[in-house]
Amino acid sequence: MTAIQEIKTNWTKPDLVAGVCILLSFIGSLLPWFKLGPLGLAGIEDGPGVVVLVLSIVAAIGVAGFVVWRRRWLRVAALLSGLIMSVVGIFNAVNRGGGGDLFDDVFKPTVGSGLYLVCIGALGLVLSVGYGLFSDPTETGSATK
C-alpha cells in the first residue's frame, strides 16, 4: 500500500466531521457577524474574527496531522482551538458587539450568519475531536504502520 492510500484509509468519522466543522468556522469568520439593517460587519474586520480564522487553520493542521502521523497531541491542539473558537463565538453572540444601551435601543444589531456558522462549527469541532480523542483505539501516541 502506498503512503497516499494509507493516509486515505486513516480518516475516521470524527476526523471527517471535524474537517466539515473546521470549514464551517473558517467560512463563518469571513461572513457577517453582526447586522445593522442592510449593513453587516464581517468577522475579519474585527479582532475576534481574525482569531477564529487563525484557530481554524491551526485546527485543520491538527486534524490533518493526526490523520498522517497519528499523534495524540495533534488532536489535543485541534480540541483546544475548538474550545477557544467556541468561547469567542458565544461571547460575541451574547454581547452582540457591545455597543451599549443607547446603541442597542436605537439600532438593535442582530447576530449575522457568520457568527452562527462559527458557533456551530466550533462546537461541532469540540464534540467530534473530543469523541475521537477518547474513543479511538488506534491512537497510541506513536505512528502506526
How far apart are alpha carbons 107 and 105 in whole angstroms? 6
Q: Residue with C-alpha cell 463563518? A: 28
Condensed to tens digits (0 to 9), the pLDDT of residues 20-75 reads: 999 999 999 999 988 877 778 887 887 899 999 999 999 999 999 999 888 899 99
| Burial tier of 11 (Cβ tally within 10 Å: 0-12, 13-18, 19+) | middle
The H-assigned helical ranges of the chain are: 3-10, 13-30, 47-69, 72-95, 101-107, 113-135
**Partners of residue 56 on adjacent β-strands:** none
Condensed to tens digits (0 to 9), the pLDDT of residues 75-130 reads: 999 999 999 999 999 998 888 755 555 555 566 778 889 999 999 999 999 999 99
Residue 144: pLDDT band by 50, 70, 90 thresholds?
very low
Please, which residues have CB within 8 angstroms of residue 58's CB and are 6 or more apart in sequence? 77, 78, 81
Select the more confidently predicted residue: 1 or 22: 22
Q: Confirm if 107 and 99 have CB atoms less than 8 A apart.
A: yes
Residue 137: pLDDT band by 50, 70, 90 thresholds?
low
Q: Confirm if 66 and 78 have CB atoms less than 8 A apart.
A: yes
How far apart are alpha carbons 62 and 68 in whole angstroms? 10
DSSP H or E segment with residue 141: none
Select the more confidently predicted residue: 113 or 4: 113
Residue 9: pLDDT band by 50, 70, 90 thresholds?
confident
Q: What is the pTM of this model?
A: 0.83
> How much is the pLDDT for 145?
41
